């Protein structure tokens, strides 16, 4: 007897103005399997699952669930067809309990007491059936992100989901939490739940999926059984050409300390300590990788080191200059000392999106020859400078007069990297160097970082991607709750050891 696919999408097309996000996409997902969907940024995978969940309506094409036609126009239609979605950014009310969040939107009538009792019973059943243990009376804001994600899954299952869509589900998890999450997915699969996993992490695709589909430029370009493919083949399908998966490392020859942070403590406007007694050294010709789950102080540390946020306690030493609360330096002065900064959020901190690329290419350096004679900006000089950067750093399209908003995320990132690297800084502070960047762009950016290291630059790389930290770094420090909880040489590092530190277990603690 032939088993019908749990999901069949046929000829799905969706356009946004002149942009074809999905172009006659076909997809079959068999019941009780974990099916990965991968592709570069802008490949159309998020649009596709948004259509399946009713966020968007397809311009053409059909959807079948369990072998029957299932027109889905709203999320309510999707839920009614047994589809649930766990978003990358959780849709939870922080000051509600687990129980209140799970029942939110399906309270069961005006008598909340009855609804709570029924929801509590249902949670106990789901815990028994799926091994998703969580305290129903705990406040969401008091739970670690791994348990918050579990609540999102419970919400979907309680509403009858037999098909789960998971959008970049491991971005906020430690390695240990990721491993536990994969165990949960395998348990759900054993219970007959069908899972669509949207991720850009090939390692995760290879670790947990049964089948994988690859999208490129709005089209579906390949379907593979996971056991019959490789990271290299999938990367080539995603990009359309062979891509090196390894970083060509430059041997470490650490020189003198170029920047030292000593006892940095920093509190936000509410008086909450975001950094507590942070100390680290950046050495010439060496890359220090800073690992940690997002939100543990990395952003604040970059702000302080780059001069965006003032030093409150402690000091920063750069050559013969000492930066303290009494002797501050702003970002412009930091740049004059040879410090360049690639911010974590390129849209908020690195680019002015409505400005032309040539204008963005001189931001922060507009008082030099790149932009004119130091007194007046020269559009012609900016144009020539930007054109040179675009050719050297493979920024596409090579259109200096195009607004930054018109470039893809990967090309925006390459433009920012080009601007900061071209000044030949002695110190580089790089936040999330390849966030939102395609596989081909990742290899290029990693090569440029290694080239700066070979030139003797002292580099700090902050990344939530542990694979990236392991590939680039000579030393690895880990942050948790605003503190450096440990530092180890790359040669002694492994994901298990770093994962424990990311979870707050200090070096040497079993």
- Cβ atoms 170, 204 nearer than 8 A: yes
User: 384 is written with which tokens?
Assistant: 């020539």
Q: How far is CA 23 from the centre of its chain?
A: 26
Q: Where are the beta strands (DSSP E) in 171-216?
A: 194-198, 211-216
Give CATH superfamily name and number for 257-354+425-502.
P-loop containing nucleotide triphosphate hydrolases (3.40.50.300)
User: 130 is written with which tokens?
Assistant: 């799926």
Nearest to 41 by CA among 346, 362, 361: 346
Phi, psi of 412 (to 5 degrees): -60, -45
**Three-class SS of 134-181:** CCCCCEHHHCCHHHHHHHHHHHHHHCCCCEEEEECCCCCCCHHHHHHH
pLDDT digits (tens, 9 = 90+) for 45-91: 888 999 999 999 999 999 999 999 999 999 999 999 999 998 766 78
Q: How many Cα atoms occupy the beta-carbon half-sphere of 214 within 13 Å? A: 23
**For 135-148, what is the mean pLDDT?**
85
First to last CA, the chain: 53
Residue of 438 and 415 predicted with greater confidence: 415
pLDDT confidence band for 215 (50 / 70 / 90): very high
- DSSP, collapsed to helix, strand or coil, labels residue 20 as strand
**For 322-337, what is the mean pLDDT?**
95
As a whole number, the mean pLDDT across the chain is: 89
Does residue 103 surpass a pLDDT of 90?
A: no
**For 365-385, what is the mean pLDDT?**
85
Q: Which of 133-137, 248-252, 455-459 has the lowest mean pLDDT?
A: 248-252
Distance CA 327, CA 383 (A): 37
Residue of 271 and 149 predicted with greater confidence: 271
Distance CA 46, CA 52 (A): 10
pLDDT of residue 509: 37
**For 181-189, what is the mean pLDDT?**
90
Same fold, 7-239 and 257-354+425-502: yes
Q: What angle do CA 105, 109, 115 make, to 5 degrees?
A: 75
- Cβ atoms 472, 250 nearer than 8 A: no
Domain ranges of the chain: 7-239, 257-354+425-502
Pick the CATH number of 7-239 from 3.90.1570.10, 3.40.50.300, 3.30.300.30, 1.20.1250.20: 3.40.50.300
pLDDT digits (tens, 9 = 90+) for 261-282: 999 999 998 899 999 999 999 9
pLDDT of residue 12: 97
Q: How many residues does the chain have?
A: 510
pLDDT confidence band for 409 (50 / 70 / 90): confident
User: What contacts 24+ positions apart, CB below 8 Å, involve 72-75?
Assistant: none
Q: Where are the beta strands (DSSP E) in 313-413?
A: 313-318, 321-323, 339-342
pLDDT of residue 434: 87
Does residue 352 surpass a pLDDT of 90?
A: yes
DSSP symbol at 350: I
Kindly state the percentage of the chain with pLDDT values over 70.
95
The Cα-based distances of 404 to 20, 195, 209, 395 in angstroms read 21, 37, 37, 11
**For 316-328, what is the mean pLDDT?**
96
């Amino acid at each position: 007897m032939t088993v019908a696919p749990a999901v069949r999408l046929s000829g799905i097309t969706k356009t946004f103005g002149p942009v074809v996000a999905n172009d006659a996409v076909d997809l079959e997902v068999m019941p009780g399997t974990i099916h990965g969907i991968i592709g570069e940024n802008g490949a159309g995978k998020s649009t596709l699952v948004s259509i399946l969940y009713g966020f968007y309506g397809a311009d053409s094409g059909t959807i079948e669930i369990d072998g029957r036609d299932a027109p889905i126009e709203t999320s309510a239609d999707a839920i009614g067809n047994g589809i649930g979605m766990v978003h990358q950014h959780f849709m939870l009310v922080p000051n509600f309990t687990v129980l209140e969040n799970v029942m939110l939107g399906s309270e069961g009538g005006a008598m909340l007491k009855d609804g709570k009792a029924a929801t509590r019973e249902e949670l106990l059943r789901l815990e028994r059936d799926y091994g998703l243990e969580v305290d129903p009376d705990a406040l969401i804001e008091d739970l670690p992100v791994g348990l918050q994600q579990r609540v999102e899954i419970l919400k979907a299952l309680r509403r009858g989901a037999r098909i789960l869509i998971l959008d970049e589900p491991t971005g906020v998890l430690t390695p240990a939490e990721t491993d536990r999450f994969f165990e949960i997915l395998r348990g759900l699969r054993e219970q007959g739940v069908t899972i669509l996993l949207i991720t850009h992490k090939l390692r995760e695709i290879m670790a947990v999926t049964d089948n994988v589909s690859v999208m490129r430029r709005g089209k579906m370009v390949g379907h593979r059984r996971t056991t019959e493919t490789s990271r290299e083949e999938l990367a080539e399908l995603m990009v359309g050409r062979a891509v090196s998966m390894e970083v060509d490392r430059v041997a470490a020859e650490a020189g003198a300390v170029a920047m030292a942070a000593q006892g940095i403590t920093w509190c936000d406007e509410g008086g909450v300590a975001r950094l507590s007694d942070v100390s680290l050294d950046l050495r010439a010709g060496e890359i220090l990788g800073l690992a940690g789950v997002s939100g543990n102080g990395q952003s604040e540390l970059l702000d302080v080191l780059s001069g965006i946020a003032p030093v409150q306690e402690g000091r920063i030493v750069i050559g013969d200059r000492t930066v303290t609360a009494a002797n501050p330096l702003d970002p412009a002065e930091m740049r004059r000392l040879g410090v360049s900064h690639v911010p974590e959020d390129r849209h908020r901190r690195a680019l002015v999106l409505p400005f032309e690329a040539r204008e963005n290419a001189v931001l922060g350096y507009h008082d030099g020859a790149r932009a004119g004679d130091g007194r007046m900006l020269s559009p012609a000089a900016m144009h020539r400078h930007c054109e040179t950067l675009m050719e050297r750093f493979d920024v596409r399209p090579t259109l200096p007069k195009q607004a930054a908003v018109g470039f893809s995320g990967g090309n925006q990132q390459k433009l920012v990297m080009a601007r900061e690297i071209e000044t030949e800084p002695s110190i580089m502070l790089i936040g999330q160097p390849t966030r939102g960047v395609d596989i081909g762009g990742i290899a290029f950016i990693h090569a440029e970082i290694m080239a700066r290291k070979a030139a003797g630059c002292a580099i700090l790389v902050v990344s939530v991607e542990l694979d990236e930290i392991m590939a680039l770094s000579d030393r690895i420090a880990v942050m948790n709750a605003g503190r450096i909880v440990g530092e180890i040489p790359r040669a002694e590092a492994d994901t298990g050891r770093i994962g424990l530190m990311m979870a707050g277990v200090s070096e040497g603690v079993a």
